[in-house]
Structure 1
């Protein structure tokens, strides 16, 4: 979706996906980021722990990639109400970045998908926020000013975008709009906070 030659701020869209639906949410959030202008989106995944390749053709993220990101969107399928083990394992390798404060005062959001209507979506989103709070990130959810939070009959949460993957269904219109809105909000916050850190007017 984007070049690795970065000439403008970028948001790291970091996710793990086995069936492909979390990856679709990641791509949709990235579309929202790119629609703002002046900021890029860099999609990355993490290595599996069991030898099976994750869905899609995405580069693996390195912990050192965190320092250059202006913000972070993180996604995972639900695994019994928490993030998938490969993503949790990846975060456990980021102690040097935590010590350096590489992510302090940068905005972040979280997203997930499940095969059942609820399936632990909100518990998973909350669990993914925990390492981000330890890293000093500023969590940005999805506000109820987004009309689709009031109309969705599948995924969607104030804690972050979600997808209900019943019978391999595609993302619904409401789910896509909420994911794009989340990307736009994250991009605007990233630009504002980057300007503030650099001492430039917002």
Structure 2
């Protein structure tokens, strides 16, 4: 089995829901399995620390998770049209993997959630692609052959899976369309990884 890293930061749970939907899609592809990881929050107080193991949810990511993965799904809530500082902080520490080319040639996708309809979902997805491109990764999106992309009344973009938390941060969970598109993206990422792994 090849591991696909699903790495995300989630403050109120919506991005975590998307991560689990992507993981479901990944796990549906023979020979592929999801490895779900998160990052700790960044504190404004220098002395503040987090426990080595989160109180709930998946473990914190380690750099070896990147090195060992066959593909990467990267997710963050929207922060003014950009990824959250916690995820950016982790990515800023991946220079050794960049220098060694550990991620070069591996497929990747991105996903996000926001509490407002026009909260910068697409710019967040595009900004998350930038460090992945610097690492030499192959970006996978959601094609319009996924019919739900043309009919969704909630989240979902060709750049990646997304969620609009109606009613703000305490809004309802993923819509049916959002979940369908997230699962489809996870499946597509895993199939792409399987095809690349099968290369001579």
- Compute the TM-score of the two structures, normalised by the length of structure 2: 0.92
Query: Any conservation in 2 of the 1:64–1:97 contact (CA below 8 Å)?
Result: no
Query: Any conservation in 2 of the 1:20–1:56 contact (CA below 8 Å)?
Result: no
Kindly indicate whether residue 196 of structure 2 is the aligned counterpart of residue 193 of structure 1. yes
Partner SS, residue 102 of structure 2: coil
Kindly indicate whether residue 15 of structure 2 is the aligned counterpart of residue 12 of structure 1. no
Q: Report the equivalent of 1:147.
A: 147
Query: Any conservation in 2 of the 1:23–1:55 contact (CA below 8 Å)?
Result: no
Kindly indicate whether residue 131 of structure 2 is the aligned counterpart of residue 131 of structure 1. yes
Q: Report the equivalent of 1:121.
A: 121
Runs of 4+ in 1 over 6 A off after TM superposition: 52-55
Q: Report the equivalent of 1:183.
A: 186
Q: Report the equivalent of 1:84.
A: 84
Q: Report the equivalent of 2:41.
A: 48
Aligned-residue offset at 1:159: 0.1
Q: Report the equivalent of 2:174.
A: 171
Q: What does residue range 85-104 of structure 1 map to in structure 2 within 5 Å?
A: 85-104=85-104
Q: Could you tell me which of 28, 35, 43 is aligned with 2:28?
A: 35
Unaligned runs of 5+ in 1: 1-7
Q: Report the equivalent of 1:3.
A: none
| Equivalences, count | 190
Q: Report the equivalent of 1:162.
A: 162
After superposition, what is the alpha-carbon deviation per residue over 1:13-37, rounded to whole angstroms, capped at 9, x for unaligned? 0000010000000000000001112
- Compute the TM-score of the two structures, normalised by the length of structure 1: 0.91
- CA distance, structure 2, for counterparts of residue 31 and residue 133 of structure 1: 25
